[in-house]
Amino acid sequence: MQFPTYHFEGDIVVAAGQGFCRDYLQFPFEVPEGVGAIHLQLVYYPLRVGKVDNLMTLGLFDPACFRGQAHRHPPDAEVVVSREEATPGFVPGDTQPGNWLAQLTVHTVVEDESPCHYSLEITTHARDDSVRTRTPYLPAPTVVSSRPGWYCGELHSHTLHSDGTFTPAGLIEQARQNHLDFLAVTDHNTTTALAEIDPASLGAMLLIPGMELTTYYGHALVLGTLDWVDWRTGYNGYSISDAARRAHTLGGLFIMAHPNAVGSPYCTGCQWEFTDFNLDLADAFEVWNSQWPDSTDQNPKSLQAWHLMQETGRRLTATGGTDFHSLGDWGGYSPRVWVYAQELSVPAVLEGIRQGRVIISSGPQLRLQVLPGGDSQPGEIGDTVEAIYLEVTLSMTWDNAPQGGKLYVRNAHDIVLSANITTNGSLQQKICVGGEDRVWIEMYDGNGYLSAMTNPVFIKAG
C-alpha cells in the first residue's frame, strides 16, 4: 500500500520597516490507517541575516494531543515519530489515524532584501506490527528524604530535547557530580526528556518535572507537572495568563524567567514584554539567571524590578536558575537555589518556593531570623511574624563570604543596615519597624557582584 507524502513551501516576507516578524503557520495533513511512522523535514533559508539568526521551530500534534516540538539552532534536518522511537523533543507512540497538524512556529524572521523561504516535507510509512511501543519512564511521586531542612538545587536546565548539549542521562550525571539535592528539567516547549530518565539513576537526588514556556513575548518556567502546558500565546486567543492558570490547575508553579534578558530578535522572546499578564498568577520571579555579571546587566535589572515589587507590597518569591545548557555552566557566579522544605519531595519543594522560603547563592551560606520580642516566635525566611513593639532584632549568620564582602539589610523602601564582613560571622542588630514591613539580606563581593540573597521575612508591628 502506498502511504501519502505531503509537501509545503512558501516565503515569509517581512514588511519594510517592521524589522522582524513572528507568526504561526499551519500545515494540516491526514494520516491513514496502517501508518506506523511519520518523517518530517524542515528546511529554511537564510538562517542568518546580518548578526541575527532567523528561528523557526517545528511542532507536531496528533488528533488528540501534543506530539513534540524542536526548539533548536539550527532545526533538525529530519524529525521521526513512530511507536518505538522519536527525535528528541517528540513523543514516541502509536500514530493514530486522522487529522494531524504540523505547525511552523516563526519565532524570528528578520527583514531582508529577499524573503525567508521554507520547505516542509512530510512522509508517512507503514506500521510494523512486530515492533512494540516503547514504554517510557514515568517519574513516580517520591519522598527522597523525610527530613525538614534547607535543600540545594537547580530550577532551570536543558537537555538535547531542546537546545541543551547533554542527554537527559548526561544532565543527571552532571547534577549528581555537583551534589544537587534536586534538579528541575525545563526544556523549551516540551517535556519529552522526562520519559528518558531512569528513576534509579537519580540516587538521592529529586527530579522536578517541568518545561520552559518559550513564547514570543517572554519565557516562563512551569515546575511540578509531567503534562505539557501549551505555550502558544496569541494562537486562537490563548494568553500567557491562560498558561499560568493551566500550570496551577496541574498543581505546578509558574515562574517568570530572565525577564530582563536581551529580547527579540536577538534572543526570541527572552525579555518579558507581555502587557496583559496578571502578575497575581506568577509564583516566583527569576532575579538571577546564569552568571551574575554579564555584558547585558540583565540580572541587576531583574533584581531592581523585584525591589520595585517589594515597594508596592507584592509578595513574589525571588528565585534563580543557571539556565544550564552545557558543560561549564555550573560554577563561577552561577546561582544555586536553596529551598526550605518539610521533606525532599516535589510537593514540598514547590510549597517552599511558593511560601518564599528561598535563598539564592553562588556559594556563601546565609541565614536570617527576625526576633520580634515578647512571647512572639522568631520569624524565618518566608515567615510572617507578629511584633508587639516597633523594634525587632535581626539575627544573621554567614559562611564562605567572598573577600571584601559586604552585607546589606533591606526593607521594602531602603537599605536599613550595611556592614563589611569577614569570611564567616554573625551579627545581631535592632531595627525600627512600623505597620507592615519586610526585611531581607543581600551579600555582595568586592567587585559589587551579588553573591547571595534571602527572600524576605514579613513583619506585622504595632
Residues 169-191 have pLDDT tens digits of 999 999 999 999 999 999 999 99
* Same domain flag for 238 and 303: yes
- Asked if pLDDT for residue 201 goes beyond 70, the answer is yes
pLDDT mean over 352-369? 98
Q: Would you state the torsion angle of the CA atoms of residues 369, 456, 153, 155, taken in this order, to the nearest 10 degrees?
A: 170
β-bridge partners, 341: 149
Neighbours of 301 (CB within 10 A): 15
193 and 327 part of one domain: yes
Q: What's the domain count of the chain? A: 3
**What CATH number is attached to the domain comprising 395?**
2.70.50.30
Pairing of strands 66-70, 48-49: unpaired
- The answer to whether residues 150 and 84 belong to one domain is no
In a domain? residue 209: yes
The three cell numbers locating residue 395: 539575627
The sign of the dihedral angle between the CA atoms of 92, 93, 94, 99 is negative
In the chain, % of residues over pLDDT 90:
89
Of the three residues 324, 341, 361, the one that is the final residue of a domain is 361
Return d(Cα 461, Cα 406) in angstroms, integer.
Answer: 28
Q: Say how many C-beta atoms besides its own lie within 10 A of residue 131's C-beta.
A: 13
Look-up: residue for cell 517581512?
A: 14
Identify the band that residue 462 occupies on the pLDDT scale cut at 50, 70 and 90: low
Note down the domain range covering 398: 365-461
Grid cell at residue 270: 527572552
Is residue 426 within 8 A of residue 396, CB to CB? The reply is yes
Of the listed ranges 138-147, 241-250, 395-404, the one predicted with least confidence = 138-147
Identify the pLDDT of residue 389.
82
Cis peptide before 28 (omega within 30 of 0): no
Domain check: are 220 and 349 in the same one?
yes
Least confident of 1-10, 72-81, 220-229, 384-393: 72-81
Q: What is the CATH number of the domain that holds 104?
A: 2.60.120.380
- Residue at which a domain ends, from 76, 98, 126: 126
Q: For 116-129, what is each residue's pLDDT tens digit?
A: 999 999 999 998 87
CA 22 and chain centroid, separation? 22
Please state whether beta strands 450-454 and 358-361 pair in parallel, antiparallel, or not at all (unpaired). antiparallel
Q: Is residue 262 part of a domain?
A: yes
Kindly state whether residues 226 and 311 are assigned to the same domain.
yes
Question: How do residues 375-421 score in pLDDT, each as one tens digit?
Answer: 788 999 999 999 888 899 999 999 999 999 999 999 999 999 999 99
Q: What is the pLDDT of residue 75?
A: 66
Question: What is the tens place of the pLDDT at every residue in 249-306?
Answer: 999 999 999 999 999 999 989 999 999 999 999 999 999 999 999 888 999 999 999 9
In a domain, 377, yes or no: yes
* pLDDT of res. 98: 98
Is 33 within the bounds of a domain? yes
Residue 73 is predicted with a pLDDT of: 75
- Residues 102 and 10 both lie in one domain: yes
Same domain, 295 and 177: yes
50-109 residue pLDDT tens: 999 999 999 999 999 999 999 987 766 789 999 889 999 999 999 999 999 999 999 999
Q: Please indicate, yes or no, whether residues 255 and 344 belong to a single structural domain of this protein.
A: yes
The residue-averaged pLDDT of 18-41 equals: 97
Distances (CA, A) of 109 to 25, 238, 264, 308: 13, 22, 10, 34
Phi/psi at 305 (nearest 5 deg)?
Answer: -65, -40
Q: Is residue 134 part of a domain?
A: no
User: What average pLDDT score do residues 38-56 get?
Assistant: 95
pLDDT of 133 strictly over 70? no
112 and 159 belong to one structural domain: no
Mean pLDDT of 151-176: 97
Same domain for 264 and 399? no
CATH of the domain at 243: 3.20.20.140
Mean pLDDT of the chain: 95
In tens, the pLDDT along 315-354 reads 999 999 999 999 989 988 999 999 999 999 999 999 999 9
- For residue 446, pLDDT over 80 is answered with yes
Q: Is residue 132 part of a domain?
A: no
Shared domain check, 277 and 194: yes
47 and 113: one domain? yes
In a domain, 241, yes or no: yes
Residue 137 counted as domain residue: no
pLDDT of residue 9: 97
| Domain end call among 361, 393, 414 | 361
- Determine contact, residues 95/81, Cβ cutoff 8 Å: yes
